[in-house]
C-alpha cells in the first residue's frame, strides 16, 4: 500500500483510492465482513423474536427492542467503518487517548451519581434519553491496543519484548481491570484476562511470563473465593454452575430455564417467534445475555450451530489477519481481539448451555445492548484496519 | 516478528477451535441427544393442569331421600405457599384471617399445618397436598369474603370462592355416619398406590375414605375435568391445549330407609340410656353401656334397612378437616371410640344367641330335640363348677323350654359328652367336632361380605385357632409371674396361666362347654348375628348383607343393580329348622323375652344373650355383660330381622327389648296392641322399585308425584 505513505491523513487518502487495486474496499477482508453482517442480521431477528410477542402481549410497542437494536447497529457500523478507515499509524498515536478515555470512564462509574447499578454491578453511565454506556466494553479495545502499542515498540535488533515492556503492558492492562473488578464485573475481567494472556503470549515474551500469568489467574480465582472478595450473588452463581439446586429460585432457575429452552429446540427449532419458552419469558434477560437461547429454541440445532459456525469464521479470519500481519502491533491487536471475541463467545454460549459459570457477558454481535455492539464493531473495524494496513 | 510469536498464535487458534468444537458438541448433546428430555422438561414447565372437580354422586335412601349430597358454600382457602413466603411464617396473616373469620389463630394454625410436620401430632393438620389451597371455612358469609377480596394485598394467597362441598343432611335425624363414611383429599399414598380404584385420580381430588363413600367411590366420584394450559413465567395463561369437562359421578341408591334408620338410631340411644339408668326389673341395677349397635335386615334378601352404631358423630365434621380435638374424641377410648362402627367392627362373645348354632350341632350329633333334658343349677366338669347364668334350676325340661328359658347346664352336659366322645384332652385323630363344624357352616369367624370397608371377621375358637393362639402366647403364660403386670398377678389368674402353660393348645372340657353357650374365645359382630338370624327366619339361606341397591346416572337412568347374593345355607334340615323357629317363638311367648313383647300384636321370635366379658375398664371396674337381642318377625312369614347389641349393657331382654319392640312398632304400624298399617313405615314391605330421578338429577319421591 504505497499510497498510504504519501498522505498524512489516512482517512481521505483511503477513500480516494478506495476502489483502486490495493485500495481499501478491495483490501478489506470480505469474508469477515460478510460473517459480521450476517450475524448482525441474525442478531436483529433474534432480538425481535425474543421480545416481540411478550411486548405485544403487555400492550407495548412490539418492535421496541428491534428499533433500538437497529439504531445501535447503524451507530456501531459507523464506528466500525470509521475505525477501519483510520490511518494505521495514527491508530497507534490515538491509542493512549482511547485508553485514557476508557480509564476515566471506569473511574466515573464508581462515582455515586454518575454510575448506575444494574444487576449488582456499577458498570453503567446513564445518559439522557434512556441510553447508557458501559465503559468496561471500550476498556477491552483500549487494553488490547494499549498493550499492543507498548509491546510492539522496541529498539533495533530486539526480537522479542523485554521484561520491561511486558511489565509496562501489564500495568496498562491491570489498571482498568482493577477498576472493573471494583464494579464488580467478573465476566469482563475474565475476558480481559484471557485477552491479556494471549497478547503477552503472541508478543513473543518469555514463556515464564505466560506461565506466571496462568498461575496468577489460578491463584487469583481461588483467592477471590477464599478471601470473600466476591459478593454473595457471585458465589451463588458459581455454586449454581456446580450444583444447579444450590440457588434454584434465582441463578439456578435461570440456568435451568436456559438449558431447557435450548434443549427443547431439537434439530430444526420451533420456528421464529414460535418458541413457547421464549414467548413465555421463562429465561430472564433473554434479549441480552441469553440471546443464544432464542436461537437454540427457535432455530434448533441447525440454526444455532450455524451461528457458532459464523463465529468460527470470524475467529478464523481474525487469526488469519493476525498471522498475516507484517508488524507486531497489528498482530497483537488482531490476536487480542480474536482472544477477546473467542473467550466472550465461549463464556456466553457456554453459560447458556451450562458449560461455564454464570457471568453477565453479552454475546458479540447478537445481544441487545449498544455499548457491547459498538465495542465489538470497533474491534471488527480494527481487524479490517490491520488487514488493509498490512504491507 | 519471531517464529515464537507465530507458533503461539497458531496454538491459540487451535485452542479457540477446540473451544468452538466443545460448544458444538454440547449443543448436539442438548438438542439432539437429550432433546426429548429437554422437550419434556419444557412441557412440564409451561403447561399446567387446571382441575375442575366433578360433582360427586348422591347417596340416596330406598325412597330417594338424600343421605349424602353436595352443597355450595362460600369457601375461604389459603395457599400454603403464602405462609412459607411470609417473613413471620404467616403469623400476621393468620391473625388477620382469624379476626375476620371469627375463629382463633391457633385453630387456623392447626388447620394449615401440613400433616407430617413435627407439630402436626399435637395440634392437628391438613392432610391434603401442600400445593392445594387449604379450605379454612366453607360457610363464610359475603361480609367476610368482601373484606378479604377488597384488601387482597393484605391477604396474599387467600381466595374466597363459592365451591361445592359434601353435605350429610341427616333428613329426619338419620345420621348413619358409620354407614355413609366420609370423603377427604387424595393423599400422597393414594396417588402412589397402584390399586385400580386409584386410577385416574388427580392431585386435588376428593375421594371416599370410609363407609359407602369409600366402597362405591369409583361410582360416586365421577371424573374431574382438566384444562391443560400453557402458562408463562408469571403463571398467566397464554394458550389452552385441551379441555375436558368434568363428568359428574353416579348416584348410589341404598336399601337404607332414612325413617327406619332414624327410629333405629333413636331406639339404640334409648336402650343405652335405659341401661345406664338401670333397666326396669334388672337386679344388677345400672350399667355403663359404653356402646351399641342395631341392625334391621330384610331377611328375604339380606338387604340392610337400617344400621346404627353408638356412640356416633356428625359426618359433616370431616368436611373441613378434623380439628385435633375432634380427631382425639373420635378415636379415644375415654369417649368410647365413636369412629368405630360397632355393627361391623365390634366383636363380642355371642352368648346364648349362639344356641341356634348349638342346636344344629346337637341335631347333627343325633340328640333328640324333642326329648327332655336335665337343667340343674350347676354342673361340675373336671374340677370346675359351671352354673346357669342367674342360678336358675328348672329340673327335667324339654329342649324347647331349655332354649326359651336359656338353660345353660343342658348345653354343658351335651358339650361335655361330645368332648369326651371326641377323646377329651387326647382327641381322636378325626374328632367329630359337631360344634366347631356347625359354627363354621354358620360362617362364624368369616366376614359377612357386606358392601362396607373395614369389616372384621370375629373369631371361631376351634382347634386350629387354639393351636395358633398357644404358639403366640405360651411364653407369656409360662412366665406369667414375671411378665404379667403386677395388678394381674392374682392367685386365680396365676392358676389360669399355669393351666394355659401346660395344655393351652388343647380344647379342654371348659373350652368345649363354654363354646356351646357362646362364651369363651369365640366372638361375633352384630351384623354376623343378624345374618344368622335372618337365615333362620328365611328358611336357611345365608345372604351377603348389602346396602347398595343400584347405581344411577346423574340423569336417573340405571347403570347397574346391586343384586343380593346367597353365601350358603345354615346346616340344618327342615325338621330341625322348624324346631329352632318354634323354640325361638317360645322365647317370646314363655321364655326370656316375654317382658318386652308382651301384648305385641305381631308375633316376634327372639333369642336373648348376656355375654360375659373378661377384662377391666379404664377406671378399673370389671367389664359388664354384653346385652344381645336377636329377633325376627313376623314369626309365621318373617320379613325383618332386628338385632340389637349394647356392650356393658346388662341383659338382652331388659336393656334392648323395649327398644326392639319400638322398632317393630314403627315397621308394622303398631300402637299398643293394635296394628294400623297406615302408620307402618312399610305398609307393603320395603320398596322393591328404585326411586326415580328427574333429568336435572332431582329425585322423584317413590310414592306419589310432587
Contact residues on chain A for B233, CB-CB shorter than 8 A? 280-282, 284
pLDDT tens figures, A121-143 = 777 887 776 678 888 899 999 99
Question: How high is the pLDDT of residue A225?
Answer: 66
* Whole-number Å distance between alpha carbons of B435 and B462: 9
Domain hosting residue A47, numbered range: 28-389
- Looking at the domain assignment, is residue A253 inside a domain? yes
pLDDT tens figures, B213-248 = 999 999 999 888 888 877 777 666 777 778 888 899
Smallest CA–CA distance, residue B203 to chain A, in Å, is 24
Question: How high is the pLDDT of residue A123?
Answer: 76
Tally: H helices and E strands in chain A: 16, 3
pLDDT tens figures, B616-649 = 887 888 889 999 999 999 999 999 999 999 999 9
* Whole-number Å distance between alpha carbons of A340 and A323: 16
Contact: A264, B39; criterion CB under 8 Å: yes
Contact: A202, B32; criterion CB under 8 Å: no
CB-nearest to A281 from B10, B38, B232 is B232
- Looking at the domain assignment, is residue A15 inside a domain? no
Give the chain B residue nearest A341 (alpha carbons).
B16
CB-nearest to B8 from A202, A259, A355 is A202
Contact residues on chain B for A199, CB-CB shorter than 8 A? none
Contact: B9, A322; criterion CB under 8 Å: yes
Contact residues on chain B for A260, CB-CB shorter than 8 A? 38, 41-42, 45
Smallest CA–CA distance, residue A352 to chain B, in Å, is 10
Contact yes or no for B700/B706 (Cβ under 8 A) = yes
A212-238 exposure pattern, b = at least 16 Cβ within 10 A, e = fewer: ebeeeeeeebeebeeeeebeeebebbb
Give Cα B669 to chain centroid, integer Å.
Answer: 30
Number of domains chain A is built from: 1
Least-confidence region, from A6-15, A65-74, A293-302:
A6-15
A-to-B residue pairs, Cβ atoms closer than 8 angstroms:
142
Contact yes or no for B474/B481 (Cβ under 8 A) = no
Question: How high is the pLDDT of residue B78?
Answer: 86
CB-nearest to A305 from B2, B11, B24 is B24
- Looking at the domain assignment, is residue A21 inside a domain? no
Contact residues on chain B for A265, CB-CB shorter than 8 A? 31, 35
Contact: B238, A57; criterion CB under 8 Å: yes
CB-nearest to B46 from A57, A280, A338 is A280
Residue A5's pLDDT band, with cuts at 50, 70 and 90, is very low
Which residues, including other chains, have CB under 8 Å from residue B7's CB and lie 6 or more apart?
A: none
B57 DSSP assignment = P
Higher pLDDT, B200 or B548: B548
Over residues B151-176, the mean pLDDT reads: 85
Question: How high is the pLDDT of residue B575?
Answer: 93
Question: How high is the pLDDT of residue B16?
Answer: 96
Smallest CA–CA distance, residue A115 to chain B, in Å, is 31
Per-residue pLDDT at A320 exceeds 90: yes
C-beta neighbour count of B384 within 10 angstroms: 11
Contact residues on chain B for A311, CB-CB shorter than 8 A? 20
* Whole-number Å distance between alpha carbons of A307 and A314: 11
pLDDT tens figures, B575-629 = 999 999 999 999 999 999 999 999 999 999 999 999 988 888 878 888 899 999 9
- Looking at the domain assignment, is residue A352 inside a domain? yes
Per-residue pLDDT at B204 exceeds 60: yes
Contact residues on chain A for B41, CB-CB shorter than 8 A? 260, 263-264
- Tell which B residues from 218 to 257 touch A, by Cβ distance under 8 Å: 230-234, 238
Per-residue pLDDT at B185 exceeds 90: no
Give the chain A residue nearest B17 (alpha carbons).
A312
Question: How high is the pLDDT of residue A68?
Answer: 93
pLDDT tens figures, B650-699 = 999 999 999 999 999 999 999 888 998 888 888 888 888 888 665 444 55
Smallest CA–CA distance, residue B112 to chain A, in Å, is 24
Residue A46's pLDDT band, with cuts at 50, 70 and 90, is very high
Contact: B12, A264; criterion CB under 8 Å: no
Per-residue pLDDT at B157 exceeds 50: yes
Beta pairing partners, B115: B117
Residue A390's pLDDT band, with cuts at 50, 70 and 90, is low
Over residues B281-297, the mean pLDDT reads: 92
Per-residue pLDDT at A71 exceeds 60: yes
Instruction: Give the ipTM of the model, two decimals please.
Output: 0.92
Q: What is the mean pLDDT of chain B?
A: 87
CB-nearest to A353 from B12, B13, B27 is B27
Smallest CA–CA distance, residue A182 to chain B, in Å, is 29
Residue A4's pLDDT band, with cuts at 50, 70 and 90, is very low
* Most confident of the following: A251-255, A327-331, A376-380: A376-380
Per-residue pLDDT at A12 exceeds 50: no
Question: How high is the pLDDT of residue A234?
Answer: 65
Residue B25's pLDDT band, with cuts at 50, 70 and 90, is very high
Contact: B34, A263; criterion CB under 8 Å: yes
What percent of chain B shows pLDDT beyond 70? 94
Q: Is the dihedral of CA A373, A377, A378, A380 positive or negative?
A: positive
Contact: A312, B32; criterion CB under 8 Å: no
Suggest the residue from A211, A244, A276, A326 to mutate for an interface test with chain B (most B CBs closer than 10 A).
Answer: A276
Smallest CA–CA distance, residue A71 to chain B, in Å, is 30
Contact residues on chain A for B25, CB-CB shorter than 8 A? none
SS3 content of chain B, % helix, strand, coil (to 5): 40, 25, 35
Higher pLDDT, B45 or B348: B348
- Looking at the domain assignment, is residue A263 inside a domain? yes
Question: How high is the pLDDT of residue B268?
Answer: 96
Question: How high is the pLDDT of residue B459?
Answer: 94
Per-residue pLDDT at A14 exceeds 60: no
Per-residue pLDDT at A155 exceeds 60: no
Contact: B30, A353; criterion CB under 8 Å: yes
Contact residues on chain A for B5, CB-CB shorter than 8 A? 160, 202-204, 328, 331
SS3 A68: helix
Per-residue pLDDT at B9 exceeds 90: yes
Contact residues on chain B for A322, CB-CB shorter than 8 A? 9
CB-nearest to A282 from B1, B17, B233 is B233
* Whole-number Å distance between alpha carbons of B5 and A319: 12
What percent of chain A shows pLDDT beyond 70? 84
Contact: B41, A260; criterion CB under 8 Å: yes
CB-nearest to A312 from B2, B20, B42 is B20
Over residues B337-341, the mean pLDDT reads: 89
- Looking at the domain assignment, is residue A75 inside a domain? yes
CA-to-CA separations, B289 to A127, B527, B575, B674, in angstroms, rounded: 89, 19, 39, 32
Over residues A317-336, the mean pLDDT reads: 93
- Looking at the domain assignment, is residue A200 inside a domain? yes
Question: How high is the pLDDT of residue B309?
Answer: 96
Smallest CA–CA distance, residue A311 to chain B, in Å, is 9
Contact: A259, B233; criterion CB under 8 Å: no
Per-residue pLDDT at A21 exceeds 60: no
Over residues B437-443, the mean pLDDT reads: 94
pLDDT tens figures, B501-558 = 888 888 888 899 999 999 989 999 999 999 999 999 999 999 999 999 999 988 888 8
- Tell which B residues from 41 to 100 touch A, by Cβ distance under 8 Å: 41-42, 45-46
Alpha helices in B479-590 (DSSP H): 480-483, 491-503, 509-516, 526-538, 574-590
* Whole-number Å distance between alpha carbons of B539 and B136: 55
Per-residue pLDDT at B496 exceeds 90: no
Give the chain B residue nearest A265 (alpha carbons).
B31
* Whole-number Å distance between alpha carbons of B389 and A122: 98
B18 touches chain A (CB under 8 A): no
Contact residues on chain B for A316, CB-CB shorter than 8 A? 13
What percent of chain B shows pLDDT beyond 90? 49
Question: How high is the pLDDT of residue A7?
Answer: 43
SS3 A223: helix
Smallest CA–CA distance, residue B49 to chain A, in Å, is 16
pTM > 0.80: yes or no: no
Per-residue pLDDT at A353 exceeds 90: yes
Question: How high is the pLDDT of residue B702?
Answer: 43
CB-nearest to B31 from A267, A335, A342 is A267
Using only C-alpha atoms, chain A has a radius of gyration, in whole angstroms, of: 21
- Looking at the domain assignment, is residue A343 inside a domain? yes
A3 DSSP assignment = G
Per-residue pLDDT at A205 exceeds 50: yes
Question: How high is the pLDDT of residue B129?
Answer: 65
* Whole-number Å distance between alpha carbons of A230 and A225: 6
CB-nearest to A335 from B12, B34, B232 is B12
Residue A299: closest CA among B25, B29, B31: B31
Three-state secondary structure readout of B74-109 = EEEEECHHHHHHCCCCCHHHHHHHHHHHCCCHHHHH
Contact: B232, A279; criterion CB under 8 Å: yes
Higher pLDDT, B393 or B704: B393
Give the chain B residue nearest A346 (alpha carbons).
B19
Give the chain A residue nearest B25 (alpha carbons).
A305
Amino acid at each position: 500500500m504505497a499510497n498510504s505513505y504519501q498522505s498524512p491523513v489516512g482517512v481521505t487518502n483511503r477513500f480516494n483510492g478506495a476502489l483502486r487495486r490495493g485500495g481499501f474496499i478491495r483490501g478489506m477482508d470480505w469474508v469477515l465482513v460478510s460473517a459480521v453482517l450476517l450475524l448482525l442480521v441474525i442478531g436483529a431477528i433474534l432480538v425481535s423474536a425474543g421480545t416481540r410477542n411478550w411486548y405485544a402481549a403487555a400492550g407495548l410497542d412490539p418492535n421496541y427492542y428491534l428499533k433500538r437494536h437497529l439504531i445501535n447497529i447503524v451507530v456501531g457500523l459507523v464506528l466500525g467503518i470509521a475505525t477501519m478507515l483510520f490511518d494505521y499509524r495514527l491508530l497507534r498515536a490515538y491509542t493512549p487517548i482511547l485508553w485514557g478515555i476508557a480509564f476515566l470512564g471506569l473511574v466515573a462509574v464508581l462515582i455515586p451519581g454518575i454510575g448506575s447499578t444494574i444487576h449488582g454491578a456499577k458498570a453503567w453511565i446513564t445518559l439522557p434519553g434512556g441510553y447508557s454506556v458501559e465503559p468496561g466494553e471500550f476498556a477491552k479495545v483500549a487494553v488490547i491496543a494499549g498493550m499492543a502499542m507498548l509491546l510492539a515498540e522496541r529498539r533495533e535488533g530486539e526480537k522479542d519484548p523485554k521484561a520491561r515492556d511486558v511489565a509496562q503492558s501489564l500495568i496498562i492492562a491491570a489498571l482498568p481491570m482493577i477498576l472493573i473488578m471494583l464494579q464488580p464485573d467478573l465476566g469482563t475481567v475474565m475476558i480481559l484476562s484471557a485477552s491479556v494472556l494471549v497478547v503477552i503470549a503472541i508478543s513473543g515474551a518469555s514463556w515464564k511470563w505466560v506461565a506466571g500469568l496462568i498461575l496468577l489467574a489460578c491463584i487469583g480465582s481461588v483467592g477471590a473465593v477464599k478471601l470473600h472478595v466476591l459478593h454473595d450473588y457471585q458465589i451463588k452463581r458459581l455454586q449454581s454452575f456446580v450444583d444447579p439446586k444450590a440457588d434454584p429460585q434465582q441463578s439456578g432457575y435461570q440456568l435451568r430455564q436456559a438449558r431447557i429452552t435450548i434443549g427443547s429446540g431439537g434439530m430444526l427449532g420451533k420456528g421464529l417467534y414460535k418458541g413457547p419458552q421464549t414467548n413465555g419469558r421463562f429465561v430472564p434477560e433473554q434479549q441480552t445475555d441469553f440471546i443464544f437461547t432464542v436461537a437454540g429454541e427457535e432455530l434448533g440445532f441447525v440454526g444455532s450451530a450455524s451461528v457458532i459456525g459464523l463465529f468460527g469464521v470470524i475467529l478464523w479470519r481474525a487469526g488469519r489477519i493476525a498471522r498475516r500481519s507484517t508488524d507486531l502491533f497489528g498482530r497483537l491487536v488482531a490476536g487480542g481481539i480474536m482472544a477477546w471475541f473467542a473467550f466472550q463467545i465461549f463464556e456466553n454460549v457456554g453459560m447458556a448451555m451450562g458449560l461455564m459459570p454464570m457471568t453477565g457477558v453479552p454475546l458479540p454481535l447478537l445481544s441487545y445492548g449498544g455499548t457491547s455492539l459498538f465495542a465489538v464493531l470497533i474491534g471488527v473495524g480494527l481487524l479490517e484496519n490491520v488487514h488493509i494496513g498490512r504491507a | 516478528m519471531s517464529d515464537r510469536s507465530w507458533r503461539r498464535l497458531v496454538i491459540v487458534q487451535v485452542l479457540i477451535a477446540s473451544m468452538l468444537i466443545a460448544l458444538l458438541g454440547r449443543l448436539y448433546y442438548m438438542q439432539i441427544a437429550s432433546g426429548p428430555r429437554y422437550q419434556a422438561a419444557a412441557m412440564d414447565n409451561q403447561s399446567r393442569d387446571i382441575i375442575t372437580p366433578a360433582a360427586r354422586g348422591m347417596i340416596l335412601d330406598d325412597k330417594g331421600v338424600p343421605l349424602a349430597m353436595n352443597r355450595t358454600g362460600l369457601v375461604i382457602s389459603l395457599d400454603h405457599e403464602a405462609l412459607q413466603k411470609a417473613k413471620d411464617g404467616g403469623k400476621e396473616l393468620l391473625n388477620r384471617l382469624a379476626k375476620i373469620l371469627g375463629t382463633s389463630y391457633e385453630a387456623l394454625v392447626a388447620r394449615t399445618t401440613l400433616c407430617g410436620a413435627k407439630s402436626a401430632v399435637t395440634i392437628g393438620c391438613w392432610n391434603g397436598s401442600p400445593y392445594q389451597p387449604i379450605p379454612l371455612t366453607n360457610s363464610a358469609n359475603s361480609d367476610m369474603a368482601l373484606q378479604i377480596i377488597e384488601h387482597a394485598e393484605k391477604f396474599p394467597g387467600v381466595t374466597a370462592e363459592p365451591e361445592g362441598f359434601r353435605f350429610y343432611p341427616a333428613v329426619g335425624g338419620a345420621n348413619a355416619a358409620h354407614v355413609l363414611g366420609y370423603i377427604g383429599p387424595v393423599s400422597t399414598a393414594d396417588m402412589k398406590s397402584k390399586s385400580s380404584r386409584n386410577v385416574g385420580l388427580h392431585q386435588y381430588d376428593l375421594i371416599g375414605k370410609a363407609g359407602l363413600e369409600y366402597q362405591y367411590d369409583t361410582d360416586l366420584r365421577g371424573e374431574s375435568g382438566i384444562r391443560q394450559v400453557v402458562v408463562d413465567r408469571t403463571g398467566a395463561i397464554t394458550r389452552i391445549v385441551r379441555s375436558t369437562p368434568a363428568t359428574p359421578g353416579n348416584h348410589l341408591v341404598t336399601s337404607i330407609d332414612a325413617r327406619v334408620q332414624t327410629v333405629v338410631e333413636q331406639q339404640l340411644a334409648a336402650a343405652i340410656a335405659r341401661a345406664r339408668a338401670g333397666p326396669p326389673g334388672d337386679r344388677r341395677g345400672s350399667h355403663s353401656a359404653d356402646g351399641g349397635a342395631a341392625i334391621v335386615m330384610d331377611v328375604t334378601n339380606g338387604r340392610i334397612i337400617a344400621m346404627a352404631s353408638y356412640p356416633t358423630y356428625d359426618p359433616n365434621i370431616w368436611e373441613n378437616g378434623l380439628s385435633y380435638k375432634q380427631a382425639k374424641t373420635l378415636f379415644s377410648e375415654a369417649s368410647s371410640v365413636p369412629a368405630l362402627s360397632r355393627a361391623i367392627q365390634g366383636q363380642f362373645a355371642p352368648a346364648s344367641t349362639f344356641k341356634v348354632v348349638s342346636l344344629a350341632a346337637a341335631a347333627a350329633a343325633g340328640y333328640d330335640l324333642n326329648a327332655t333334658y336335665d337343667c340343674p343349677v350347676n354342673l361340675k366338669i373336671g374340677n370346675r363348677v359351671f352354673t346357669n347364668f342367674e342360678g336358675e334350676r328348672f329340673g327335667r325340661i324339654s329342649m324347647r323350654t331349655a332354649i326359651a328359658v336359656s338353660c345353660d347346664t343342658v348345653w354343658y352336659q351335651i358339650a361335655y359328652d361330645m368332648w369326651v366322645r371326641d377323646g377329651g384332652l387326647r382327641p381322636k385323630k378325626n374328632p367329630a367336632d359337631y360344634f366347631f363344624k356347625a359354627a363354621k357352616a354358620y360362617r362364624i369367624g368369616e366376614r359377612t361380605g357386606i358392601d362396607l370397608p373395614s369389616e372384621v371377621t370375629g373369631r371361631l375358637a376351634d382347634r386350629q385357632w387354639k393351636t395358633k393362639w398357644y404358639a403366640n402366647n405360651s411364653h407369656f403364660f409360662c412366665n406369667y409371674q414375671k411378665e404379667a403386670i403386677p395388678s394381674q398377678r392374682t392367685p386365680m389368674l396365676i392358676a389360669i396361666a399355669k393351666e394355659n402353660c401346660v395344655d393351652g393348645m388343647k380344647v379342654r372340657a371348659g373350652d368345649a362347654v363354654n363354646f356351646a353357650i357362646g362364651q369363651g374365645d369365640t366372638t361375633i359382630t352384630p351384623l354376623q348375628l343378624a345374618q344368622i338370624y335372618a337365615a333362620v327366619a328365611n328358611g336357611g339361606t345365608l345372604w351377603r348383607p348389602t346396602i347398595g341397591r343400584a347405581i344411577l346416572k346423574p340423569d336417573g337412568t340405571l347403570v347397574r343393580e346391586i343384586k343380593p347374593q346367597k353365601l350358603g345355607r345354615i346346616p340344618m334340615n327342615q325338621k330341625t329348622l322348624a324346631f329352632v323357629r318354634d323354640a325361638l317363638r317360645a322365647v317370646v311367648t314363655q321364655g326370656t323375652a316375654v317382658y318386652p313383647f308382651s301384648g305385641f300384636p305381631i308375633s316376634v321370635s327372639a333369642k336373648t344373650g348376656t355375654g360375659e366379658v373378661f377384662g377391666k375398664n379404664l377406671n378399673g371396674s370389671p367389664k359388664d355383660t354384653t346385652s344381645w337381642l336377636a329377633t325376627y318377625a313376623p314369626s309365621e312369614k318373617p320379613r325383618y330381622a332386628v338385632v340389637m347389641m349394647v356392650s356393658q349393657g346388662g341383659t338382652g331382654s331388659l336393656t334392648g327389648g323395649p327398644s326392639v319392640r319400638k322398632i317393630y312398632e314403627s315397621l308394622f304400624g303398631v300402637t299398643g296392641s293394635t296394628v294400623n298399617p297406615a302408620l307402618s313405615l312399610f305398609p307393603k314391605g320395603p320398596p322393591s322399585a328404585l326411586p326415580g330421578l328427574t333429568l336435572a338429577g332431582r329425585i322423584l319421591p317413590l310414592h306419589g308425584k310432587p
